[in-house]
Amino acid sequence: MKALRIALKDLRIRLRDRNTLILMLLLPVGLTAVIGFAFGGDAGISAVEFLLVSPEEDGFPAGDFLTGAAANFLSQIEIFDVEVATREEATRAVSEGEKSAAILVPEGLREAILEGTPAEVVVLRDPASDIKAGIVQSVVERFVTYASAGGIVGRAIFETLEEERPLTDGERWQLTGWMLRWMYDRYREPAIGIQAADTEVEDVNVHAYFAPSFAVLFLLFTMLGSAKSIHEERESGTYDRLMTAPVSRATFIGGKLTGSYLLAAVQMLILILLGSIVFGIRWGSHPGAVVVMALVTAAGASSLAVLIASIARTGSQVDNVGTAVILVMSLLGGSMWPVEQAPAAFQNIARFTFNYWAHSGFKKLVFLDAGLAGIAQEIAIVGAMSIVFFALSVRLLSRR
Amino acid sequence: MRGDAIIDAERLTKRYGEIVAVDSVSFEVPEGEIFGLLGPNGAGKTTTIGILSCLVTPTAGSARICGIDVTKDSLGVRSKIGVVPQEIALYPTLSARDNLVFWGRMYGVPDHALKQRIEEILETVELSDRADSRIDTFSGGMKRRVNIAAGLLHRPSVLFLDEPTVGIDPQTRRSILELVVELNDHGLTVLYTTHYLEEAEFLCNRIGIMDEGKMLAIGTKEELTATIGATGVIAVSADGMDESIVGWLRSLDAVADAALVESELTINVIAGPNLLPALVEKLTSSGAAVHSVDVTVPNLESVFLHLTGKSLRDRDGSPAEGEPVGKKT
Ligand SMILES: Nc1ncnc2c1ncn2[C@@H]1O[C@H](COP(=O)(O)OP(=O)(O)OP(=O)(O)O)[C@@H](O)[C@H]1O
Ligand SMILES: [Mg+2]
């Protein structure tokens, strides 16, 4: 109870402070506006045009069906403009900037899916169209994930059936077709969600790309201020005074952590709301998932900042060390630029940052209309980071 | 009287590495008393209060507040005490009222009583009309009064006041001292630290004199002054004096102690009047320019001089000589 009072006192102090409000809300919204316009003109970028290249497996129905299914699935997403082309056409169109990206479906994709042999779906990207190509790539990644999962399920079904008796070729094709349809239906679910929510907007909202990344960046800065107040209370004597009241040290630490977290949650939710109001961002059709992602992100940022404070010795060290950590992490993790365009090695480093995963979750919500299941990985990783940061900070703080 | 003592400190010691901040300090404060800890900067007053309020763990010794051991049941002790720290410990961007609400809750004042207590306490510290202004818009004296108010909300059995009048104007000082007297009239036991001897003389039933971590003497003002064996005090203000004059004075039978701080010479004398002519002659012949010579009865300053060979009155911010610090009702 006293911890909650301490938390609410902190929240009150922060929300009354004009500088905090500028840092919390004005700067992220302002920067999103500026960068968004710089990248995409006034309203956003036009439809993502890309090509789908079918493997030349003549007379093989599953291959055609697969390509057809993919094309169908992709064009369900309204911002996508898909055409099927040959490899030469696709390479030319992408390198000349006519199309943002081309997806090369490899030969043997059917075997890869049905038998688990390796195969690679290649995405050709127009370097000038980072964001659009990045979006296409994310979609393909999801397609491949589903397809692999479908393949595993399919193989299990074949093996089970063949324990009874060997299947004829006809039966195999029939089953394969049935299974692909089943998979295709699974893909379609989120796409249907988009259609319902998204009838008039035809463009990709470029602000929707930057709003979450700046939100995460400034969330970290706001949290640094909250974490710093742990030192400020010690330096100003209010901590000592609390320690002469019947308040335990655990209550104090609990109160400070809760206060940070509440502020983080408030900031994320307000920024999401402002994103919708100011930039017309549609955060997908799963508001529950958006709220969960926002709350998990808030937990990650607040516990990271408190961890920095629990390592630092003074309030000004929190500022210096914390600012450095945040800037490095934001650069590496893609809070300031589209990390999708970086080389693979760099992206592997990015995966170690909190920013990367937080942003990734929001990108999936916005561009893939993912639900809770679609961002499960992000939630798990950001959640795990929060728990680790939290545990370390509590340990360090209670030793003081 | 051990059983009745509200504060009972026994051979308290606190070391910080080489520094002995508090050195085997013992004292008792019975219920209803205002007990003063008088000592210069670094004497160990704040550290003593820190131990008694469970902020500082003693290196040795023990202390009980209302019979509760400070190291064994710190939460029990903390619910009995009110602490007014030496530095202002408030949230500057919150209003006086919001601060008091917060501190009241931290001290466990029940919600239903809190509002009225805050009104009362604001009345007592004469800040009702500024209750909703932010602390950072307050003057130093107003902040100090809120700082005190925050320590009183939960109606503690004992109040620790750590130099609450440092750096404020005489009028506010007087109102704070009167407030302490009033609270004490209502039965509050007070431990009051100061390096202003006038405050200690005016306010405290008994006084403990501290220097360099040690408790040098404890008693009422009369008891303390009686111990020095002097009948009078001569205070000389003159330019051009040096330590040789102190050496000369100390060699005289009529002089108990003597100390020189800048241009102020203080002498505890056993037989006052006889000394004066010789002193003045000695001063003028040594080339000192004498501005004034005062002969008074022994006070706490004389006691401090007697105990330490030093003067208390060499600090900045000390109230001007002879300035009234308040009027005891
Ligand atoms: N946390 C600490 N670490 C090291 N030394 C300390 C600490 N706290 C106090 N001291 C030392 O202990 C001694 C007594 O300090 P204390 O603050 O108790 O004196 P004080 O009588 O309150 O002085 P003042 O009138 O200046 O407030 C000083 O020499 C001080 O430097
Ligand atoms: Mg002190």
Nearest to A238 among B53, B75, B91 (CB): B91
Same domain flag for A159 and A308: no
Same domain flag for A250 and A305: yes
Is the pLDDT score of A44 beyond 60? no
Inter-chain touch B105–A13, beta carbons under 8 Å: no
At residue A204, the pLDDT reads 57
> Of A49, A144, A138, whose CA–CA distance to A364 is shortest?
A138
Q: Of A93-97, A236-240, B116-120, where does mean pLDDT reach its minimum?
A: A93-97
Inter-chain touch B55–A240, beta carbons under 8 Å: yes
Inter-chain touch B78–A12, beta carbons under 8 Å: no
Nearest to B106 among A2, A237, A240 (CB): A2
Question: Above pLDDT 70, what percent of chain B?
Answer: 93
Longest dimension (CA), chain A: 84
At residue A281, the pLDDT reads 84
Per residue in B27-50, pLDDT (tens digit) is: 999 999 999 999 998 999 999 999
Give domain status of residue A200, yes or no.
no
Per residue in B188-219, pLDDT (tens digit) is: 999 999 988 889 999 999 999 999 999 999 99
Give domain status of residue A196, yes or no.
no
Tokens, residue A226? 């909250």
Which residues are near ligand 1 (CB < 6 Å)?
A: B 16, 19, 21, 39, 41-47, 86, 195
Same domain flag for A321 and A349: yes
Same domain flag for A28 and A56: no
Domain ends where: A133, A156, A188?
A188
Amino acid at B61: G
Write the CATH number for A139: 3.40.50
The residue of A229, A242, A244, A251 whose CB has the most chain B CBs within 10 angstroms, and thus the best one to mutate to test that interface, is A244
Residues of chain A contacting B78 with CB distance shorter than 8 Å: 244-247
- C-alpha pair distances (Å), A49 with each of A70, A75, A368, A381, B300: 15, 10, 16, 32, 92
- Please compute the mean of the pLDDT values over residues A183-203 and round it to a whole number: 42
At residue B218, the pLDDT reads 94
Is the pLDDT score of B2 beyond 50? no
Question: How many alpha carbons fall within 13 Å on the CB side of residue A194?
Answer: 24
Is the pLDDT score of B73 beyond 70? yes
- Please compute the mean of the pLDDT values over residues A328-335 and round it to a whole number: 85
| DSSP bridge partners of B62 | B10
* Nearest chain A residue (CA) to B50: A244
Report DSSP letters for B219-232, one per residue.
E-HHHHHHTT--SE
Is the pLDDT score of B275 beyond 60? yes
Same domain flag for A291 and A151: no
Residues of chain A contacting B102 with CB distance shorter than 8 Å: 5, 9
Same domain flag for A172 and A233: no
Same domain flag for A54 and A13: no
Same domain flag for A33 and A90: no
Give domain status of residue A66, yes or no.
yes
Give domain status of residue A199, yes or no.
no
- Please compute the mean of the pLDDT values over residues B86-95 and round it to a whole number: 94
CA–CA gap between residue B290 and residue B7 (Å, rounded): 47
- Within 9-68 of A, beta carbons closer than 8 Å to B belong to 9, 12-13, 16-17
* Nearest chain A residue (CA) to B98: A9
Domain ends where: A188, A221, A248?
A188
Give domain status of residue A114, yes or no.
yes
* Phi/psi of residue B189, nearest 5 degrees: -85, 135
Helix locations, A41-199, DSSP H: 61-76, 87-95, 109-115, 130-164, 169-197
ipTM of the complex: 0.83
pTM: 0.73
Find all residues with CB under 8 Å of A273, minimum gap 6, and list them: none
Whether A101 and chain B come into contact, CB under 8 Å, resolves to: no
| Number of structural domains chain A divides into | 2
- C-alpha pair distances (Å), B248 with each of B18, B270, B274, B282: 36, 15, 16, 9
Domain ends where: A145, A160, A188?
A188
Which domains are assigned to chain B?
Answer: 5-224 (3.40.50.300), 229-297 (3.30.70.100)
User: What is the SS3 assignment for A281-307?
Assistant: CCCCCCHHHHHHHHHHHHHHHHHHHHH
Q: Of A165-169, A283-287, B110-114, where does mean pLDDT reach its minimum?
A: A165-169
Nearest to B94 among A13, A243, A245 (CB): A13
Per residue in A363-389, pLDDT (tens digit) is: 888 888 888 888 999 999 999 999 999
Is the pLDDT score of A330 beyond 60? yes
Domain extent at residue A183:
48-188
CA–CA gap between residue B131 and residue A347 (Å, rounded): 56
At residue A342, the pLDDT reads 73
Q: Of A208-217, B242-251, B304-313, where does mean pLDDT reach its minimum?
A: B304-313
At residue B125, the pLDDT reads 85
